[in-house]
Amino acid sequence: MANELATVEENWLELAGKFKDLPMPFEKTVFLAECHLAGTAEIDDMLVKTQDVEQGSPIALKRTAADAQDEKAVAALTACGALVGYVPRRYAAVMARLMDAGKALSAKVTKKTLECHWLDLAISIDMKEV
């Protein structure tokens, strides 16, 4: 019986692939949150930094654990590496833990609106198990 269990454990991925209706583990991207970036009003030259950013543009997420104000801070950067805001605190703690555990998070712009004197950027955050 132990040998049979060991064989199943070793070949579970191969066996699972034979069942067409059975979803493969980690096959899909997992939606985590949609949020408006925090701190956008304090960033210098925000309109210049985001001139090429539009709906669907990728946003890189970077842990900034050394941030003096928030040890769970997650910065949002454009494809060119320009800082455009932070994941709000209500989401950042979970995102930071996932990133610290080595999970691959990705984000994209879902909304870009100029509101009086500041730029409102909303992003969607996903996790893909690799």
Within a domain: 11: no
**Mean model confidence pLDDT for the chain:** 84
Residues 5-14: what's their mean pLDDT? 57
Within a domain: 20: no
Within a domain: 80: yes
Contact 95, 32 (CB under 8 A): yes
Within a domain: 64: yes
Domain enclosing residue 85, as ranges: 26-128
Examine the pLDDT at 2 and tell me if it is beyond 60.
no
Question: For 65-122, what is each residue's pLDDT tens digit?
Answer: 665 677 899 999 999 999 999 999 999 999 999 999 999 999 999 999 988 878 999 9
- Spell out the alpha helix ranges (H) of the chain: 2-10, 12-16, 46-49, 89-100
Interior angle at CA 119, CA 114 and CA 120, nearest 5: 90
Examine the pLDDT at 7 and tell me if it is beyond 60.
no
Please tell me the predicted confidence (pLDDT) of residue 17. Answer: 61
Within a domain: 5: no
Closest CA to 76 of 102, 39, 129, 42: 39
Radius of gyration of the chain (CA): 20
Please tell me the predicted confidence (pLDDT) of residue 64. Answer: 87
Dmax (CA) of the chain: 70
Q: Which residues pair with 105 in a beta bridge?
A: 127
Within a domain: 61: yes
> Higher confidence at residue 118 or residue 124?
124
Q: What is the number of domains present in the chain? A: 1
Q: Whole-model pTM? A: 0.76
Within a domain: 1: no
Q: Phi, psi at residue 10, to the nearest 5°?
A: -70, -30
Q: Residue 41 maps to which CATH number?
A: 3.30.70.2330
Q: What is the DSSP letter of 44?
A: T
What percent of the chain has pLDDT above 70?
75
Within a domain: 35: yes
Question: For 25-68, what is each residue's pLDDT tens digit?
Answer: 656 789 999 999 999 988 899 888 999 999 999 999 999 866 56
